[in-house]
Structure 1
């Protein structure tokens, strides 16, 4: 948690092991014992965030029925859970994503937890998309839209905290699902 606090306040460039050790109230030696470099600490921090997100969305998924609509709604709701959808955590997620091009290990860590979620979204979209000549393209498009919609909502929550709200953003995403798949989300209220 100390690394999350520091990265959210200072970003990568300004975060030092000293900041982390002071926040965690640990000696520098203890931190060095567990992490041989600042990069190793960053890898562990990203792994923690990715594993935390994985645990939340799978918990939501396991609590709903078997229909594709229920499963997809659960995944989207999980992305706005108050434990993971905080300004601090979002700032750290975006810090990591901003570095992923230069540090491929970040994508490897992220994807090791997120690929299953992505596959589940594809499966849900496949079940809800009518069969036809363009089904594959429609499923791929719907999956991209859903991923972009949630990531965009997260970005707005981080950048504009005074004018965006976690619950409203979640409901906007659910409303968009209902517009994409009206036969599967007939009871979703309009915002």
Structure 2
């Protein structure tokens, strides 16, 4: 019985090992794609570049993704899910405080896990192609809508609690545009740093929501 059990356990371990290896290789290839997009741009990224960057054979790339289009879609999906998971986790950690949630949302956009030169450059590469590629628009569209709805709802709650005179939807649009603009400045490499961008974002929300925030952080309520 022990021998049978050991053999069965070995088989399960082998299956888990193969599965882990497949997932690991896919992630290696996605990370290499992000690197290539950051260095070469969208058009000049090839499967060969990705394979070389990941230290894997070109046949492995074809095995996992079959085409450049499939690889790029998988990479965009990964980045989109990572971003959504990140800001949702930040809000969950912030708890019910409206000021704390707004503070967390701003900081999430400039966290080192999300806001890096290579990832910003990869986002820029995808954004440049999105207009002519409906797949990219559809892939990120639902998550963008969810983010917008979250910000609008937060602005509405902040208005009710703080007695502000703005309308929630235009304020939410302004807030999102400000964050996107700062990301664009970081992408352009005009000397804006992640720290300066975060400082600018905090200055904006401290002015827009003075009953809730200062540049030092959320006000106690």
Q: Give the TM-score normalised by the residue count of structure 2.
A: 0.78
- Residue aligning to 2:184: 155
Alpha-carbon shift at residue 13 of structure 1 (Å) = 0.8
Matched, 1:167 2:192: no
Alignment check: 8 A CA contact 1:153 1:169 kept: yes
SS at match of 1:13: coil
- Residue aligning to 1:178: 206
Which whole-Å CA distance do the structure 1 matches of 2:137 and 2:53 have between them?
A: 27
Matched, 1:57 2:84: no
Q: Deviations over 1:133-187 (max 9, x none)?
A: xx8x8212111111111111111112125x21212211211221121121122x3
Q: Over aligned residues, Cα RMSD in angstroms?
A: 2.1
Alpha-carbon shift at residue 69 of structure 1 (Å) = 2.3
Unpaired segments ≥5 residues, structure 1: none
Q: Give the TM-score normalised by the residue count of structure 1.
A: 0.89
Matched, 1:111 2:141: yes
Alpha-carbon shift at residue 189 of structure 1 (Å) = 4.2
Which whole-Å CA distance do the structure 1 matches of 2:149 and 2:98 have between them?
A: 13
User: How many residues are aligned here?
Assistant: 185
Alignment check: 8 A CA contact 2:86 2:108 kept: yes
Which whole-Å CA distance do the structure 2 matches of 1:168 and 1:13 have between them?
A: 31
Within the candidate set 30, 48, 61, 2:60 is matched to: 30
Give runs of ≥4 in structure 1 deviating > 6 Å: none
Q: Deviations over 1:92-146 (max 9, x none)?
A: 1111111111001112112233332222111100112259xxx8x8212111111
Alpha-carbon shift at residue 67 of structure 1 (Å) = 2.4
Which is greater in Rg?
2
